[in-house]
């Protein structure tokens, strides 16, 4: 995506350094606090001395240029380029007092919320905090950040701090996160691919209604040999594929026992278990009670 350097329309009638948007929004296990979104036009200012802060800060240049240092020599930032400052990173800026740049400054914090991620799901908090290891430097906007920021300003002018506008600003943050080297390593990690494998097996087993699951066809659909799949699945889950298949079918039968009047023998066949005797033995071994006793107890 080519960089967008908006003309005057998205940034007209906006006073410099006035917070256009702030607010909190929770996404899964992450609480994202947008501290401010503001227009930066440092007329009359020559520099901002070295400092650090406890929030993330994105600076995007729409027009002109500025200089920034991350503890070393000053780097030039031109229109269509940006830099990100993670919490605790010392930095300094230099400006052209008589010909100031026009840019956007977005500040935010990320905290872990009270919601706990379900087992096997991605943590939004962990995804967003990979930016704490962002490599300092000047980056060309190849990700459409300028378009997202310009649109965020436009909506902030029209609608104020609405949920939709906050989400649009959060989209900017996620767009940066997707480019993080740490994020790419994280998303390609073994844990991610392992979760994907377990989920695919679950989908296959849930969709299969036959008495005997064709595990070789399952392995082929995942482009693996059955032996490799069986060993990997056992290592990741602690169970065999057959164990998981039986668990899924027993869970289906619980719902039928509680919510229907189907005969127990019919339930055994409906859920894909081969016989009433096998179903009863498996049910009692798993739940410590017979299917009939379970149904009676649930009715009571």
Are 30 and 170 contacting, i.e. CB atoms less than 8 angstroms apart? no
- Comparing 256 with 194, which gets the higher pLDDT? 256
Query: What is the tens place of the pLDDT at every residue in 30-48?
Result: 999 999 999 999 988 899 9
Residue indicated by tokens 């509680």: 258
Are 176 and 143 contacting, i.e. CB atoms less than 8 angstroms apart? yes
Indicate the range of 23-27, 130-134, 202-206, 275-279 predicted with least confidence.
Answer: 202-206
Of 175, 11, 25, give the one whose Cα is nearest residue 109. Answer: 25
Domains in the chain, CATH or no CATH each: 9-187 (2.60.120.280), 191-299 (1.10.10.60)
pLDDT at position 274, please?
Answer: 73
Tokens describing residue 172: 């900017």
Query: What is the tens place of the pLDDT at every residue in 196-221?
Result: 788 888 888 887 666 667 788 888 88
pLDDT at position 187, please?
Answer: 41
Sign of torsion, CA 8 14 18 22? negative
pLDDT at position 108, please?
Answer: 95
State the DSSP code for 136: P
Measured CA to CA, the distance from residue 53 to residue 69 in angstroms comes to 15
Tokens describing residue 160: 């104020």
Measured CA to CA, the distance from residue 213 to residue 17 in angstroms comes to 64
Residue 92 CA from chain centroid, whole number: 31
> What is the Cα Rg of the chain in Å?
28
Mean pLDDT, residues 121-134: 82
First-to-last C-alpha distance (Å) of the chain: 63
Residue 152 pLDDT more than 70? yes
- Three-state secondary-structure class, residue 271: coil
State the DSSP code for 28: T
Measured CA to CA, the distance from residue 6 to residue 22 in angstroms comes to 23
Tokens describing residue 279: 């179903």
Measured CA to CA, the distance from residue 194 to residue 243 in angstroms comes to 18
pLDDT at position 2, please?
Answer: 38
Residue 184 pLDDT more than 70? no
pLDDT at position 10, please?
Answer: 56
Measured CA to CA, the distance from residue 129 to residue 86 in angstroms comes to 9
Measured CA to CA, the distance from residue 190 to residue 173 in angstroms comes to 25
pLDDT band at 193, cuts 50/70/90?
low
For residue 58, list its beta bridge partners. 84, 106
Which residues are CB-neighbours of 43 under 8 A, at least 6 positions away?
16, 97, 100
């Amino acid at each position: 995506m080519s960089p967008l350097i908006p003309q005057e329309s998205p940034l007209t009638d906006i006073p410099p350094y006035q917070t256009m948007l702030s607010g909190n929004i929770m996404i899964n296990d992450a609480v994202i606090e947008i501290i401010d979104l503001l227009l930066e036009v440092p007329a009359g200012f020559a520099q901002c001395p070295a400092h650090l802060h406890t929030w993330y800060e994105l600076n995007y240049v729409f027009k002109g240029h500025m200089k920034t240092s991350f503890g070393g020599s000053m780097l030039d930032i031109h229109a269509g380029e940006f830099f990100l400052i993670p919490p605790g990173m010392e930095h300094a800026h230099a400006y052209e007092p008589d010909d100031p740049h026009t840019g956007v400054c977005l500040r935010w914090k990320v905290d872990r919320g009270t919601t706990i991620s379900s087992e096997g799901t991605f943590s939004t908090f962990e995804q967003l905090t990979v930016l704490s290891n962002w490599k300092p430097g000047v980056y060309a906007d190849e990700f459409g950040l300028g378009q997202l920021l310009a649109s965020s300003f436009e909506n902030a002018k029209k609608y104020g701090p609405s949920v939709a506008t906050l989400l649009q600003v959060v989209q900017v943050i996620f767009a940066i996160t997707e480019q993080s080297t740490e994020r790419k390593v994280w998303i390609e990690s073994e844990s991610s691919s392992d979760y994907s494998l377990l989920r695919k097996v679950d989908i296959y087993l849930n969709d299969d209604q036959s008495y005997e699951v064709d595990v070789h066809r399952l392995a082929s659909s995942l482009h693996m040999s059955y032996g490799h799949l069986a060993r990997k699945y056992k290592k990741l889950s602690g169970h065999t594929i057959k164990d998981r298949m039986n668990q899924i079918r027993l869970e289906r039968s619980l719902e039928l026992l509680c919510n229907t009047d189907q005969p127990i023998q019919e339930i055994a066949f409906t859920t894909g278990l081969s016989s009433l005797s096998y179903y009863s033995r498996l049910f009692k071994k798993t739940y410590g009670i017979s299917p009939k006793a379970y149904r009676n107890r649930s009715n009571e």
